[in-house]
C-alpha cells in the first residue's frame, strides 16, 4: 500500500466517523446523509474499478460495524460501485455544472438506497416508521445536497 492509497483510506475512515458522529444525529424525515457514498463516488473518478471495489468493501464493512447492519452497507456500496463505475468514469473528463453534480449524486444515492431497502426487507434488518419510498427519496435528496456543498467548498 503506497502513501497515496493510505491517505485516501484514512480520509475514507474520516468520512465514516463524520457520518457516525455528526450525520447520525442530523436526521431528516428519519433519513441520514451518507458522506461515505459521496466519497466513493469521488474515488470512482480517481481509481480503477478493482481498487474502488476494495475501498467500498472495507469502508462499507467498517460503516456496517458502527451501524450494526453487518454487511448491508458493504454489499450495497460494492454493488453500486461495480455497476456505476463505467458511467461515472466517462463523466470524469467533462466539467459538470452544479445541477448535474446534484443529479448524478441524487441518482446514485437513490439506487443505493433502493438496493439497501430491498436487502433490508429480505433480512428484516431495518425497521422504521418511515415509508420506504420517503426514506429513499429524502435520504437521496439529503445526501445529494451535502455532496453539492462539499463540491462547492472543495473548489477545483
What mean pLDDT is predicted for residues 94-99?
A: 80
As a whole number of angstroms, the distance between CA 40 and CA 134 comes to: 24
Residues 38-77 pLDDT 10s = 999 999 988 899 999 999 999 999 999 988 877 889 999 9
- Does residue 78 have a pLDDT over 90? yes
C-alpha cell at 89: 468514469
Q: How many domains does the chain contain in total?
A: 1
What mean pLDDT is predicted for residues 10-23?
A: 92
- Residue range of the domain that includes 109: 3-154
What are the C-alpha distances in Å from 103 to residues 10, 29, 65, 69, 100?
A: 28, 21, 30, 28, 5
- Does residue 146 have a pLDDT over 60? yes
Kindly report the CATH number assigned to the domain that includes residue 119.
Answer: 1.10.1760
Amino acid at each position: 500500500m503506497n502513501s497515496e492509497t493510505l491517505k485516501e483510506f484514512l480520509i475514507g475512515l474520516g468520512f465514516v466517523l463524520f457520518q457516525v458522529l455528526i450525520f447520525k444525529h442530523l436526521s431528516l424525515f428519519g433519513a441520514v446523509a451518507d458522506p461515505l457514498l459521496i466519497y466513493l463516488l469521488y474515488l470512482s473518478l480517481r481509481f480503477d474499478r478493482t481498487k474502488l471495489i476494495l475501498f467500498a468493501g472495507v469502508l462499507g464493512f467498517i460503516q456496517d460495524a458502527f451501524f450494526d447492519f453487518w454487511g448491508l452497507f458493504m454489499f450495497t456500496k460494492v454493488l453500486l460501485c461495480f455497476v456505476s463505475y463505467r458511467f461515472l468514469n466517462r463523466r470524469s473528463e467533462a466539467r459538470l455544472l452544479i445541477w448535474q453534480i446534484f443529479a448524478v449524486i441524487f441518482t446514485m444515492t437513490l439506487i443505493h438506497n433502493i438496493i439497501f431497502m430491498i436487502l433490508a426487507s429480505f433480512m428484516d434488518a431495518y425497521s422504521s416508521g418511515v415509508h420506504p419510498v420517503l426514506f429513499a427519496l429524502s435520504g437521496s435528496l439529503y445526501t445529494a445536497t451535502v455532496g453539492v456543498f462539499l463540491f462547492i467548498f472543495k473548489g477545483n
